[in-house]
């Protein structure tokens, strides 16, 4: 049934104290960290079983913490065990395997962690549990999974991303989304997939996905992915769409015209670049370079000063990838608003004004608000929201960045260009905008899909509409929205789906 995704790796553990063992045992199964529950087992039996497991190369933790992967118990009273586990205040509880002693004895007999089967699982039967099988079952919805920036399956997800991009560039939506979903499921796993068997209970993995995984497991790479990466059209479209303001349609048009490089494009007199594309080419080196956390913080200071000079009670929030805890991003996203209804609409033009006067605005594209509360709910999904917003390129001075700029070696300009997005929703739409702009895109897609499919509700960056009750639901925080949807709250840093 449930296969343990573990391949033994032998390594001498030098810091034995770390796992609380006297130095000699060799750790054979680094990815398995056991915790034996003392209640019912008793202290002396627990101590005996601990020694036994350690002598066979298992790591046994003395205390229950988030590093534990396998909790082993002899307690047959499921509910009291689970009540106790929940009181331990673990972040990671839904990712832990809570196992009956039979799994432990089987593993000791085999001398390795045996595959976890349903019969081994002690499942939570408490009424407040979201689903009884939450311990091991992975939801098909990203908004029911916790996905940190730590990706244990990067080889697979990188390959899926290439495949998804290939379909996206060819405007084939279905398979594109399928690969994105599959990648998202694998990103949520606290373990690395080491065999196809380990994936059999995972959702969203189709035939094609699995065959790619099988290839990677066998050969370390996928022939199909390599073929795409070396394909001239793919390479050229990727290059062209990497320019700010160039989408797949324009890229394809240029490709069909026989253009293959930036020089080809810039030398073609029949091509009229729009303002955005001109800036895209002008600042290409800078804006295709990742923005660091320190740079995002520096920009936050700049925007913070600007909005507060304009409206002292303005609210500013960092959103997008940096709010999810990413170390680097392609831009920096902010939400700004004020408590005075209507005033938020003038906020962005005023900020733009100020940045212009400071001489740090390199490019701006402003979109005035087209938001109309009376037109809610919007039935079109994935479309941009209607709030006032702007897409900027700002000049960031190195002196303002703690630890300095993230620039190429030998770059002595002392500044760089950075992409910044600002969005200004009215205060009563703040929670929806914050949730919508925090991402990830896959997380957002699945929140909306979940609302629609499971709750008969419509969610977007503006509002949440209950189709059954025929009413808009109010929310002042993201937690309110999760609660309306009947979802467990997922922290921003767990939304890297
Ligand atoms: N978004 C949106 N409407 C837009 C642009 C973006 O709702 N017009 C949302 C996206 O759904 C995404 C979030 O805003 O969830 C941030 O978008 P983006 O900056 O493109 O992505 P990040 O997740 O921040 O990734 P990166 O770190 O690369 O910037
Ligand atoms: Mn971003
Ligand atoms: Mn953005």
**Local structure of residue 11 (DSSP, 8 states):** B
Q: Determine the residue of 244, 327, 437 to mutate for testing ligand 1's pocket, defined as the one with the most ligand atoms within 8 A of the Cβ atom.
A: 437
Record the pTM: 0.75
- Pure H helices in 198-357: 207-219, 223-229, 232-241, 248-256, 262-267, 275-282, 284-287, 293-310, 320-323, 344-357
Within this chain, domains 10-130 and 142-228 share the same CATH topology: no
pLDDT at 382 over 80: no
Which CATH number is associated with domain 231-282?
1.10.150.20
Mean pLDDT of 10-36: 67
Coil, strand or helix at 6? coil
The encoded tokens of residue 28 equal 């054979």
Q: How confident is the model at residue 10 (pLDDT cuts 50, 70, 90)?
A: low
pLDDT at 314 over 50: yes
pLDDT at 32 over 60: yes
Q: How confident is the model at residue 132 (pLDDT cuts 50, 70, 90)?
A: very low
The encoded tokens of residue 236 equal 């050229």
pLDDT at 1 over 60: no
Ligand 1 atom, smallest distance to 291 CA = 27
Nearest alpha-carbon partner for 150 in 91, 226, 231, 213: 91
Distance CA 431, CA 433 (A): 5
Distance CA 256, CA 244 (A): 20
- Condensed to tens digits (0 to 9), the pLDDT of residues 195-222 reads 999 999 999 999 999 999 999 999 999 9
pLDDT at 24 over 80: no
* Predicted local confidence at residue 379, as pLDDT: 63
Q: Determine the residue of 287, 291, 320, 383 to mutate for testing ligand 1's pocket, defined as the one with the most ligand atoms within 8 A of the Cβ atom.
A: 320
Domain residue ranges in the chain? 10-130, 142-228, 231-282, 283-497
Percent of the chain with pLDDT over 90: 82
Mean pLDDT of 77-98: 84
* Predicted local confidence at residue 75, as pLDDT: 84
pLDDT at 28 over 50: yes
Nearest alpha-carbon partner for 484 in 468, 426, 147, 385: 468
**Angle, CA of 419, 422 and 426, to the nearest 5°:** 170
Q: For the domain with range 283-497, which CATH number is right: 3.40.50.720, 3.40.50.300, 3.40.1080.10, 3.30.460.10?
A: 3.30.460.10
For residue 53, how far is its CA from the centre of ligand 3 (angstroms)?
Answer: 49
Concerning whether 333 is annotated as a catalytic residue, the answer is yes
**Local structure of residue 330 (DSSP, 8 states):** S
CA 317 remoteness from chain centre: 19
Q: Whose CA is nearest to atom 9 of ligand 1?
A: 437
- Condensed to tens digits (0 to 9), the pLDDT of residues 360-378 reads 999 999 999 999 988 888 7
- Condensed to tens digits (0 to 9), the pLDDT of residues 164-177 reads 999 999 999 999 99
Q: Which of 421, 428, 466, 480 is catalytic?
A: 421
Concerning whether 421 is annotated as a catalytic residue, the answer is yes
Q: Determine the residue of 438, 439, 440, 492 to mutate for testing ligand 1's pocket, defined as the one with the most ligand atoms within 8 A of the Cβ atom.
A: 439
CA dihedral of residues 442, 448, 449, 451 (deg, nearest 10): 140
Give the number of whichever ligand sits closest to the CA of residue 287.
1
Q: Whose CA is nearest to atom 17 of ligand 1?
A: 320
Concerning whether 124 is annotated as a catalytic residue, the answer is no
Q: Pairing state of beta strands 415-424 and 332-337? A: parallel
* Predicted local confidence at residue 131, as pLDDT: 37
Residue 330 in contact with ligand 1 by CB distance below 6 A = yes
Give the number of whichever ligand sits closest to the CA of residue 436.
1
Q: Report how far apart the first and last C-alpha atoms of the chain are (Å, whole number).
A: 25
Distance CA 412, CA 244 (A): 24
pLDDT at 14 over 90: no
- Contact between 368 and 386 under an 8 Å Cβ cutoff? The reply is no
Q: How confident is the model at residue 335 (pLDDT cuts 50, 70, 90)?
A: very high
Q: How far, CA to CA in Å, does 106 sit from each of 117, 206, 234, 318, 451?
A: 11, 32, 50, 50, 42
* Predicted local confidence at residue 284, as pLDDT: 98
Q: How confident is the model at residue 129 (pLDDT cuts 50, 70, 90)?
A: very low
Mean pLDDT of 259-268: 98
Side-chain-side CA neighbours of 226 within 13 Å: the count stands at: 7
Q: Which residues pair with 316 in a beta bridge?
A: 336
Q: Pairing state of beta strands 457-459 and 464-466? A: antiparallel
Is it true that domain 142-228 has CATH number 3.50.50.60? no
Domain 10-130, what fold? Answer: Rossmann fold (3.40.50)
Side-chain-side CA neighbours of 97 within 13 Å: the count stands at: 28
Ligand 1 atom, smallest distance to 385 CA = 3
């Amino acid at each position: 049934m449930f296969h343990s995704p573990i391949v033994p790796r032998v390594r001498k553990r030098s810091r034995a104290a770390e796992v609380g063992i006297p130095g000699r045992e060799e750790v054979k199964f680094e990815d398995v960290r056991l915790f034996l529950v003392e209640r019912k087992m008793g202290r002396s039996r627990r101590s005996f079983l601990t020694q036994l497991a350690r002598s066979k190369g298992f790591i046994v933790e003395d205390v229950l913490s988030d590093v534990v992967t396998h909790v082993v118990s002899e307690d047959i009273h499921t509910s009291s065990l689970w009540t106790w586990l929940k009181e331990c205040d673990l972040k990671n509880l839904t990712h832990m395997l809570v196992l009956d002693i039979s799994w432990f004895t089987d593993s000791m007999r085999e001398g390795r962690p045996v595959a976890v089967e349903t019969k081994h699982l002690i499942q939570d039967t408490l009424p407040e549990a979201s689903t009884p099988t939450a311990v091991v079952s992975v939801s098909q919805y990203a908004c029911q999974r916790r996905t940190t920036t730590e990706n244990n399956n990067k080889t697979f997800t990188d390959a899926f991303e290439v495949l998804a991009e290939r379909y996206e560039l060819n405007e084939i939506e279905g398979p594109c989304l399928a690969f994105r979903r599959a990648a998202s499921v694998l990103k949520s796993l606290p373990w690395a997939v080491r065999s196809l068997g380990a994936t059999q209970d995972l959702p969203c993995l189709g035939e094609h996905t699995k065959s790619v995984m099988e290839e990677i497991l066998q050969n370390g790479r996928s022939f199909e992915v390599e073929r795409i990466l070396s394909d001239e059209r793919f390479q050229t479209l990727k290059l062209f769409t990497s320019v700010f303001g160039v989408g797949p349609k324009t890229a394809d048009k240029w490709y069909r015209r026989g253009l293959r490089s930036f020089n080809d494009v810039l030398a073609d007199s029949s091509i009229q670049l729009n303002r955005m594309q001109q800036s895209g080419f002008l600042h290409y080196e800078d804006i295709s370079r990742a923005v660091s956390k320190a740079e995002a913080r520096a920009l936050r200071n700049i925007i913070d000063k600007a909005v507060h000079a304009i409206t002292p009670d303005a609210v500013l929030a960092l959103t997008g990838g940096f709010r999810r805890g990413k170390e680097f991003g392609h831009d920096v996203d902010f939400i700004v608003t004020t408590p005075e209804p209507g005033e938020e609409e003038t906020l962005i033009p005023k900020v733009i004004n100020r940045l212009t006067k400071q001489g740090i605005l390199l490019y701006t594209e402003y979109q005035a608000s087209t938001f109309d509360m009376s037109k809610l709910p919007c039935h079109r999904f994935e479309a941009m929201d209607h709030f006032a917003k702007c897409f900027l390129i700002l000049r960031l001075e190195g002196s303002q960045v703690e630890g300095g700029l993230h620039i190429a070696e030998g770059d002595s300009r002392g500044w760089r260009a950075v992409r910044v997005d600002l969005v200004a929703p009215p205060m009563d739409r703040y929670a929806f905008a914050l949730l919508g702009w925090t991402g990830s895109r896959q997380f957002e897609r699945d929140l909306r899909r979940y609302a629609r499919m499971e709750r008969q509700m419509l969610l977007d960056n503006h509002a949440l509409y209950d189709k059954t009750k025929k009413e808009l639901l109010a929310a002042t925080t993201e937690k309110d929205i999760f609660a309306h949807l009947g979802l467990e709250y997922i922290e921003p840093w767990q939304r890297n789906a």
